[in-house]
Structure formats: C-alpha cells, structure tokens
Structure 1
Amino acid sequence: MNPNKALWEKGDFTKIAESMRESGAALVSQLGVTKGLKVLDLGCGDGTTAIPAAKLGAHVLGVDIASNLVEAGNRRAKAEGLANCEFREGDAVQLDGLEDQRFDLVVSIFGAMFAPKPLDVAREMVRVTRPGGKIVMGNWIPGDPTLVAQILKISSAYTPPPPEGFISPMLWGVESHVIERFTSAGVAKEDISFARDTFNFEISGSPAEFLARFRNYYGPTMNAFEAAEKNGKAAELQQELEELFNRENKSGSSDATLIPATFLKVTVVRR
C-alpha cells in the first residue's frame, strides 16, 4: 500500500477534524467563494473546508487519499443535503481523471503538503486550475512554536529516521520552497503571495482529552507512540506532549481546549 495512504487511514482523522470546524468555515469565508464556483479541495479530509464552500453555493469536489475520510465526507455532505459536494479518493501527486483547467479555485488546507513529490503536487494543482483562477494552500511552518509544528517535531524525535529521499512536508511552510515549486510548474514569482494566519483547535474537553485524540486517532502521533513504546519512552513522549497541549491552551479553563496554531497561507494566481 502507498505509505501515505496507510498513514492517513491508520487512525480516524475525523476525531481531530471535529475541533477544526469553526476555523475551517472562517477560512473559507475569506476566499470569495460564490454560487456556481468550481472548487477542488485537495487533501480534504472529511470536509472541514469543502462543506463550508459548498454551503456558499460552490460546486465542490473533495479529493483525499484516505478512503475512510472520503466516506466520512460523503456522509457529511448527504446529512447536510449538499448535492453540490462530492468526495472521492485520489492522490495529489497525480490527479487522475481531472481534466486540465477544470476548477476556478483549488484549496488545500494542511492536505497536499503531506503528499510526496511536491514538484508533482504543485504541477497538478496548476494544471487543473483555469486561467484567472486561484490556488490557496494552508501549510504548517517548520520550527513554529505553536501546536501542530511542535507535535510533528516532538513525534519525529521518537520515530525512526525517514527513508532515503524523503522530503519533509514542513518545507511547504517555507516561502522559498513554495516559490521554487510553483515557478517550476510555470507560475510567475509575482503571482505567488504569502500571509501568516491562525487556525484554532477547539473542543469542550480538557487538553488531556484532546491529546488522547491525537494519540489514538492521528497517524503521525500513533506512529510516534508505537515507536516510543518499543524503546520504553512512551511516558516521556506523553509528558512532552502534555506540557505542549497545556501550554498552548488559551481557553482560560482546564476543562476546555482552545489552541491557536500559526500557518502559512499561500495564494497562487493562475494566468
């Protein structure tokens, strides 16, 4: 099996995505989505940004490598009565079956950044975007002190080194790498812009409860704990993550969790 597919089907990302709904909708509200707009949401999960875009009247196709998340997205769209929102399985590296210049807007919020072969990912996103359309990515930033970058950093310290040739997904959070990838796909440098933005994770439970979701349902954290347990370091990993989640909780209560995380928002105009 594709290792990327195995990673994201390993747990159940919907348990994390439940904490991302409000920020997903808020981000989509800034994208100028209008009725009839053709939108591709790449690495869509169960629809954190696809569902809000469809509610604004866009025709949305969500594509994700994990079949369980595609099924969950289609269930959500059906429950919401959104006939204009469809989810299907696919790989950001090669968008089979999607014709050139099909979409007005291509969105990928913490999705396509995790696909291997980033040059191919950039090329495919550009290929399926019509002239005059836009690509918007949300990418975690390496070394950033906020939640997700630190979860991934801490987890990586407990897992075996990646295979030779592995390209870190976090490089999508570095402007120079983003520019290199999109210019290689034919985009002019001046058509690529960047902004720092914030995504909030919010649940009614405690930070410890939220961490338990990552330990039990988030592929990278699950892998880190499995490796740590083999090395007798699971308690150490748990403590590091507990300190992180408690430190980053801005809810003002030990029984609620509100954790802001900084990301790099990338906007590409297709000429």
Structure 2
Amino acid sequence: MNPNKTLWEKGDFTQIAQVMRQSGTALVDTLGITKELSILDLGCGDGTTAIPEAKLGAKVLGVDIASNLVAAGNKRAKAEGLSNCSFQEGDATALTDLQDKSFDLVVSIFGAMFAPKPFEVAKEMVRVTKPGGRIVMGNWIPGDPTLVAQILKISSAYTPPPPDGFISPMLWGIPDHVTERFVQAGIPKERIECSNDSFTFNAPYAPSQLLNNFKNYYGPTMNAFEAAEKNGKAVELLHELEALFNSQNNGGDNNTTSITATFLRVTVTR
C-alpha cells in the first residue's frame, strides 16, 4: 500500500477543508483565470481551489491520491452543477494518465508538497504544463511561527522518526529547494518566483473544535495522537496544541475561529 495514500485516506480532510473555503476562493481570484484555460489542480482534496476555478469558467481536472477526497470533490462539483470540473485519483510523482503539455495552469495548494520524490513531482508538473503556461504552488514553510507549520512541527515531535531516505515535505517551503527542483525539471531560474502569502482558517466555532477536527480527521495529527497515546503523552500533546490554537486565534470571541497561516507562494512560468 502506498503510505502517502494511506495517510490522506486515514481521516476525512473535508472536515478541515470546510474552514478553508473562503481563503481558497480568495487565492483563486488572484490567479487571472479565464474561461479559455485548462487547469490541473493537483493534490486537490475535495476542491477547495478546484471548485472556485471552475466557477470562473475554466475547464478543471482535480487529481488527488485519496479516493475518499476524489469522491467528495465529484459530489461537490455535481451539487454545484459544474460540468466543467471533474476529479480523479492520481499520484503527483507519476501522472501516468495525463498527456504532456495538456494544461495552461497547474495549481497545487498544500497538496503536491506532501508527495514523496519531490524532484519527480516538479518534473511531472512541468511535463503536463503547456509552453507559456504556469505552475502555482502554495507550500507551508518550515519553522514558520504560524498555525500549520507549528501543528506539523509539534506533531512530528511525538511520532517515530521517519524511514531512511525520507525527504521532509516542508522543504517545499524553502525557495532554494523549490528552485533546485524546478531547474532540474528544465525551468530557467529566472522563471521561478517565490514570495510569502497568507491563508486564513475561518470557522463559526471555538478553536478547541477546530483542534478537535485536526485531531480526528487530519492524517499527520491523527498519527501523532496515536503515537503519543502509546507513550503516555497524549495529554501533553493536546495541551501543546490547545495553547497553539488559542494563542493564534483572532476570531474576536471564544465561539469564533480565525487563524491566519503564512505560506510560500511559488509561480513558475513554463
């Protein structure tokens, strides 16, 4: 079994994605999408950016390794009446079903960064992009003090060491690594741009409920709690995460959550 597939099918990321809709739509609004564009949304989840892209008239294919998220995405597209948006299973390291130079725009927001073999991921994204087309990635930044980077950092301290040869997905948040990967995939350095951007998690409930959703539905956090439970440290992990969520909440009251996280925005011109 593919361990990456197992990780993202373990929980139910749709429970997290519901608090990402507003920022997902806002991000898509900055991409200059028109009806003529053909878009691949890679590591798409249930369509946090793919659905807004399709609503702007583009033809969108969402690809994700998790079958449950693909099913949820197709259900959302059908409910929205979006015949120009479909979802299918696929692995970002080997997009075997997709032809060379097929898409005007490849988008991957907190998706492809989690696939293993990052050089293969960059190569595949470049391969399926048309000459003159663009690749846009959103990647969490290692060591960043904001929410998701800290969730992953705290969680990793409670889980067993990764296997030999493991490459941290967080390296996608470092411009030098991003440049190296795309240059090796054939992109001139001057066509690779990196800048910091922000993404806000908005929920009509308390930070404790959002944390509960991460604990119960987000694969990396689920693994951390399982490991912590075995080591008698689950309460310690919970307290660390509670302090994080509460300190970063700008919701204005105890029953609203609004937490902004910083990410690296990558734009590559093919």
- Normalising by the smaller structure, the TM-score range is over 0.9
- In structure 2, the partner of 1:216 is 216
Query: Is 1:72 the equivalent of 2:67?
Result: no
Partner SS state of residue 19, structure 2: helix
- In structure 2, the partner of 1:139 is 139
**What is the aligned-residue RMSD (CA, Å)?**
0.3
Partner SS state of residue 193, structure 1: strand
Partner SS state of residue 195, structure 1: strand
- In structure 2, the partner of 1:242 is 242
Query: Is 1:125 the equivalent of 2:125?
Result: yes
Unaligned runs of at least 5 residues, structure 2 = none
For residue 90 of structure 2, what is the amino acid of its counterpart?
G
Residues 19-168 of structure 1 mapped to structure 2, 5 A cutoff: 19-168=19-168
Q: Cα deviation per residue 1:222-246 (whole Å; 9 max; x = unaligned)?
A: 0000000000000000000000000
Q: Cα deviation per residue 1:39-64 (whole Å; 9 max; x = unaligned)?
A: 00000000000000000000000000
What CA distance in whole angstroms lies between the structure 1 residues aligned with 2:96 and 2:78? 25
Unaligned runs of at least 5 residues, structure 1 = none
What CA distance in whole angstroms lies between the structure 1 residues aligned with 2:167 and 2:252? 38
What CA distance in whole angstroms lies between the structure 2 residues aligned with 1:175 and 1:149? 16
For residue 26 of structure 1, what is the amino acid of its counterpart?
A
- In structure 1, the partner of 2:182 is 182
Structure 1 residue 36: deviation in Å? 2.5
Query: What is the percentage of aligned positions where both structures have the same residue?
Result: 73
Q: Cα deviation per residue 1:167-191 (whole Å; 9 max; x = unaligned)?
A: 0000000000000000000000000
- In structure 1, the partner of 2:173 is 173
Partner SS state of residue 183, structure 1: helix
What CA distance in whole angstroms lies between the structure 2 residues aligned with 1:132 and 1:162? 38
Give 4+ residue runs of structure 1 displaced > 6 Å after superposition.
none
Q: Cα deviation per residue 1:8-53 (whole Å; 9 max; x = unaligned)?
A: 0000000000000000000000001001310000000000000000
Report the TM-score when normalising by structure 2.
1.00
What CA distance in whole angstroms lies between the structure 1 residues aligned with 2:137 and 2:71? 23
What CA distance in whole angstroms lies between the structure 2 residues aligned with 1:259 and 1:206? 11
What CA distance in whole angstroms lies between the structure 1 residues aligned with 2:152 and 2:37? 34
Structure 1 residue 89: deviation in Å? 0.2
Partner SS state of residue 253, structure 1: coil
What CA distance in whole angstroms lies between the structure 2 residues aligned with 1:161 and 1:26? 37
What CA distance in whole angstroms lies between the structure 1 residues aligned with 2:49 and 2:195? 18
- In structure 2, the partner of 1:267 is 267
What CA distance in whole angstroms lies between the structure 1 residues aligned with 2:99 and 2:143? 37
Q: Cα deviation per residue 1:59-105 (whole Å; 9 max; x = unaligned)?
A: 00000000000000000000000000000000000001100000000
What CA distance in whole angstroms lies between the structure 1 residues aligned with 2:48 and 2:116? 22
Query: Is 1:199 the equivalent of 2:207?
Result: no
Partner SS state of residue 19, structure 1: coil
Partner SS state of residue 194, structure 1: strand
